[in-house]
Amino acid sequence: MIVVTTPTGQIGREVVSRLLDARDASVPLRVIARDPVALPPQVRDRAEVVQGSHADPAVLKEACQGADRVFWLVPPTPGADSVEGHFRAFTEPLCEVIGQQGVERVVAVSTLGRGVAKNAGQVSASLAADDAIAATGVHYRALCAPFLMENLLHQAQSIRDAGVLRVSLAPDRVLRTCATRDIAAEAARLLLDDSWTGQEDVPLVSPDDLTPEGMAGVISEVLGRPVHAEFAPIAEQKARMIRFGATEAWAQAYADMVDAQNDQGFYGASQPSTPDLAPTDFRQWCEEVLKPAVLQS
C-alpha cells in the first residue's frame, strides 16, 4: 500500500497521476485529502481516499493502516503562528505512525542546504523535520530541491504587464532551480521501487547555470518581449506577505530564508546539477509552463 499526502497540491497531484499511470494494480493506492471533492474523478475512482489533514494523528493512523510506503510533504501554511511548530505538528504524528504501524519507506520533499543552512527559516525547519523522520530508522529518501521554477508563476501578470521579474535573491548570482514535475517523477519512481534501503538525500537540480538576470533573459526570448530582473528588498517582500495574510512569524521566517540563501549560497553555483534526475531546463519550463500562464493571466 502506497499513501500519498497533498494529492491536490502542485507536486502531490503529479505524484498521484504518475502512480496511477505506472503502478502495478496489485499495489493499492491511498490518498489523504482535506477536501476529497477537489480530487479528479479518476483519482476518486482508482484510489482509496481518507478525508482530513495528515497533521491529524487519527487521520494519519487510519491512512497508514497496512501501508508500507508514504509520500510525505509538509504544506506551506502562511497563517501558521510558528514555522518550526508547523513542521513539528506534521512530523511528530508521522514519526509515531512509523514506530507503531510498520511503515517501511518514506519519500519526502525537502530542500538543499543540509550541513550548510543556518537560521534559514523554512529551510531550517524542513531539514529538522528530515532529521526527526530519519531518527525513526525508517528507510528514507529526502528529495532535496533548490528554488522551484513554479514559484515564478505568481509573477505571470507582472511579467506580462510590466516586463519585470522581481527577485529578493541576488540577481547576479547563480540560482539553482528545479521543476516540480521532476520532483514528482523521482518520488513516483522511488515509491514504486520496494528494493531500496537506508537513508539518503536525493539532490534534484536542473541542468541550468543561470542567475535571475539570466532567467529574465530566457523569459524574454521565450515570450518575444523584454523582461528584466528587478531586485526586491526582502523587507518589501515581508510586508507584502503580511498584507496578503501571512503571520509575522511566517513572513519573518521567509525573510530569514532568503537572507540565508544570499549569505550562505546553498542554492548557488557550488551545488552541481543532476540532469539525470532533474532533466527539465529553465527554457523548456518557460516554453511549456510559464508562457501559457503569462498568456492566460
Q: For the segment 41-83, what is each residue's pLDDT rounded down to a tens digit?
A: 999 999 999 999 999 999 999 999 999 999 999 999 999 999 9
Residues 215-224 have a mean pLDDT of 97
pLDDT at 23 over 70: no
What integer pLDDT is reported at residue 171 of this predicted model? Answer: 86
Per the structure block, which three cell numbers stand in for 218?
530566457
What integer pLDDT is reported at residue 22 of this predicted model? Answer: 83
Count of C-beta atoms within a 10 Å radius of residue 249: 18
Q: Is 286 part of a structural domain of the chain? A: no
Count of C-beta atoms within a 10 Å radius of residue 36: 16
pLDDT at 26 over 80: no
C-alpha–C-alpha distance, residues 93 and 292, integer Å: 39
Q: Is 89 part of a structural domain of the chain? A: yes
C-alpha–C-alpha distance, residues 126 and 143, integer Å: 11
Per the structure block, which three cell numbers stand in for 253?
521566517
More confident residue, 24 or 201: 201
How do residues 110-154 score in pLDDT, each as one tens digit? 999 998 889 999 999 999 999 999 999 999 999 999 999 999 999
What integer pLDDT is reported at residue 271 of this predicted model? Answer: 93
What integer pLDDT is reported at residue 24 of this predicted model? Answer: 64
Q: Is 213 part of a structural domain of the chain? A: no
Number of separate domains in the chain: 1
Q: Is 276 part of a structural domain of the chain? A: no
pLDDT at 25 over 70: no
Report the half-sphere exposure of 43 (CA within 13 A, side-chain side).
25
What integer pLDDT is reported at residue 110 of this predicted model? Answer: 97
Q: Is 116 part of a structural domain of the chain? A: yes
Q: Name residues whose C-beta falls within 8 Å of residue 165's C-beta, 6 or more positions apart in sequence.
A: 152, 155, 158, 159, 212, 215, 216, 219, 227, 228, 229, 230
Per the structure block, which three cell numbers stand in for 181?
514535475
C-alpha–C-alpha distance, residues 94 and 111, integer Å: 19
What integer pLDDT is reported at residue 267 of this predicted model? Answer: 95
How do residues 236-291 score in pLDDT, each as one tens digit? 999 999 999 999 999 999 999 999 999 999 999 999 999 999 999 999 999 999 99
pLDDT at 99 over 90: no
How do residues 170-183 score in pLDDT, each as one tens digit? 888 999 999 999 99
Domain that holds residue 57: 2-148+179-203
Bridge partners for 48 per DSSP: 30
Look-up of cell digits 530519519 = 134
Q: Which CATH number is 115's domain given?
A: 3.40.50.720
